Structure 1
Amino acid sequence: MTTLDVDAVKTFVTIADLRSFTRAAETLGTTQGAISVKLKRLESQVGQRLIERTPRLVRLSAQGAAFLAPARELLAAHDRAVAGLSPARPRRFSLGIATHVGGAEVPTLLARLHAHDPALTIEVRLDDSRDLLTAFYRGDIDAAIIRREDDGRDGEMLTTDHYGWFATPDFVHRAGEPLRLAASSPSCGVLNIATRALAAAGTPLTESFLGCGSFAVADAVAAGLATSVFSCRLAPAGTIEVSRRFGLPALPPSEIVLLSALSDARSRAALKTIVSAFREHHRLPADRTTRTIPAEVLEM
């Protein structure tokens, strides 16, 4: 029976998440040479090539992709076994997620956190990026996943998000008329970017449903009552991107970052779990300099 080296499995998962031997070495506090040796040891144990590496690309092989989920389960089981050797102490972890950021990955993220540390009580707060930033610096939350504004705020970059103008296919807007815009809050950073872009383009605006909350905004847009700005992956079902149809200005992409001031080992491990789960759903685009939303999400 094959016996796997847990440390080597951890090295493989880290390389798979970061798609970089250099970053994996930095994360694990070791050298590229050391993680290469551990990966080769694991590949020898399983008799399969798990990572394909070229001078410009690091990616999973077909066997590596199939092994990734079982590898995570092995590491989670190992961590639970080690934790079981000492009395579990109740812990709390408060995480803020910006409303323009959180999507389908949130259940996976929470499930991964629970599997990593069953004794962890997870508190999740959904709010605008600016409000979460204030809460983070006040110490009200332990970590936050938010949009990076033009203020150059610190944080570990997770991915780049793209935004567009969305409405139902039958939504009507005539040139020269005020644009009916649904927005969740006057302080919303995405709304501010959108209104500045409209002002620069000379497009008049009438704000509808202002302050009704992010879910109500999505409902208003899905009902055909207004248009609004959404991440291209979070637009309401049944809506389309309408910037070309109505001559609306292109919106810049936004970096999503993780903020945390935690330093103890268990909390840092939880943060790595968050980063891993998030990046699985948000792979960085090949061209990080793109300043408009991808062409495939635009209405044809």
Structure 2
Amino acid sequence: MTDTAKPNRAIYDLDMLRAVVMVADCGSFTTAAARLHSTQSTVSQKVRRLEEMVGHQLLDRSNREVHPTDAGETLLGYARHLLAVSNQLSEALSGGVTVTVRIGLPDDFVAGKTMQALAAFNRRNPKVKLEITGGLSRDLMSAYDRGELDLVLVKQRRHSREANACQPERIEWFDSAQYPCFAQDPIPLVTFPPRGLYRDDMINAIEAMGRSWRIGFTSSSLAGIQEAVANGLGVSLLPLRVVTPEHRILGAKEGFKPIKVFEAAIFHGPTADPVVQELADILIAILKAEAE
């Protein structure tokens, strides 16, 4: 048989098959993209490339909800089988790890009850691999939007972005217990970098009191902020959960009004894996316990 007479044996890309299956299951390119942690345009492109490869339209886009065509139904059966085999192979080669969940947490949650709860979950579910990243809320949210994280807990202004769950965040003014500096003029502030959480609110609150201010210390590290305050480099605005015996909380006696504009928010895909949902429920329980 000559080369030109050989049958055309297409090699089906698993990412293309996964995209078609997800769109068919969700009935929407937008929802499928969110679940795949991708963009709608990327998912659409994968579907179009697969349709060009097989020479058939696989999805009917004429209605509000997307449905598979007859050719699509045929392909979906084989696609699900191939994806299942691929997952089984990955499981066999990964030593039994069946699910990997990428979690993003702010630095003030990467300790204590949160880590204890996640570690306990991992002991109960040894086949679930947790990849936990700590950092600033804005960086974690950007990573989530790029599809690099499956589940994030972040701090944000209340109702600034619709979340799967949220809880008002209690924040307080901190000063050093041993080296207080609130009485200094101008008052030194210990802050996160520009555009960092709480920074503008700190400055606005100090100016509303008629006090002058200066930046005494800036850091992206929560531990650095805590140490700077404890050692008398300035006052700061932080969640109550990170107070230590080296800190003194400032309140109405010093002229500070409560700041109630922040919340802790949890984000995951609208059709998240049950394991992701279970982990989200753990984080929600922690937030609710703190509020009691």
Q: Does 1:270 align with 2:276?
A: yes
Distance 1:136 1:228 in 2: 28
For residues 174-253 of structure 1, the aligned pairs below 5 Å read 174=183, 177-211=185-219, 213-252=221-260
Distance 1:204 1:147 in 2: 27
Q: Does 1:172 align with 2:178?
A: no
Q: Does 1:109 align with 2:117?
A: yes
Q: Is the 8 A contact 1:185 1:212 kept in 2?
A: yes
Partner deviation per Cα, 1:96-146 (whole Å, 9 max, x = no partner): 112355552222232133134312221111112112111111112111101
Gaps of 5+ in 2: 1-90
Match of 1:64 in 2: none
What code does the residue aligned with 2:275 have?
A
Q: Is the 8 A contact 2:165 2:267 kept in 1?
A: no
Larger Rg: 2
What code does the residue aligned with 1:173 have?
F
Distance 2:124 2:265 in 1: 22
What code does the residue aligned with 1:131 have?
D
Q: Following TM superposition, by how much is the alpha carbon of 1:220 offset from its aligned partner in structure 2, in angstroms? A: 1.1
1:126–1:172 distance in 2 versus 1, CA, 3 Å: same
Q: Is the 8 A contact 1:174 1:246 kept in 2?
A: no
Q: Is the 8 A contact 2:192 2:220 kept in 1?
A: yes
1:260–1:173 distance in 2 versus 1, CA, 3 Å: same
Distance 1:169 1:284 in 2: 24
Q: Following TM superposition, by how much is the alpha carbon of 1:153 offset from its aligned partner in structure 2, in angstroms? A: 0.6
1:283 equivalent among 262, 284, 289:
289
Match of 1:257 in 2: 265
SS of equivalent to 1:202: coil
Q: Is the 8 A contact 1:114 1:120 kept in 2?
A: yes
Aligned residues: 198
1:89–1:213 distance in 2 versus 1, CA, 3 Å: closer
SS of equivalent to 2:208: helix
Match of 1:24 in 2: none
Q: Following TM superposition, by how much is the alpha carbon of 1:90 offset from its aligned partner in structure 2, in angstroms? A: 4.2
1:222–1:282 distance in 2 versus 1, CA, 3 Å: farther
For residues 1-300 of structure 1, the aligned pairs below 5 Å read 88-150=96-158, 152-170=160-178, 171-174=180-183, 177-211=185-219, 213-252=221-260, 254-261=262-269, 263-264=271-272, 267-280=273-286, 282-283=288-289, 285=291
Q: Following TM superposition, by how much is the alpha carbon of 1:239 offset from its aligned partner in structure 2, in angstroms? A: 1.1
Q: Is the 8 A contact 1:159 1:256 kept in 2?
A: yes
Q: Following TM superposition, by how much is the alpha carbon of 1:165 offset from its aligned partner in structure 2, in angstroms? A: 0.6
Q: Following TM superposition, by how much is the alpha carbon of 1:163 offset from its aligned partner in structure 2, in angstroms? A: 0.7
The sequence identity of aligned pairs, in percent, is: 16
Distance 1:93 1:124 in 2: 8
Q: Is the 8 A contact 1:166 1:230 kept in 2?
A: yes
Q: Following TM superposition, by how much is the alpha carbon of 1:248 offset from its aligned partner in structure 2, in angstroms? A: 3.2
SS of equivalent to 1:233: helix
Q: Following TM superposition, by how much is the alpha carbon of 1:210 offset from its aligned partner in structure 2, in angstroms? A: 1.0
What code does the residue aligned with 1:186 have?
P
Q: When the two structures are superposed, what TM-score results if normalisation uses the length of structure 2?
A: 0.59
Match of 1:78 in 2: none
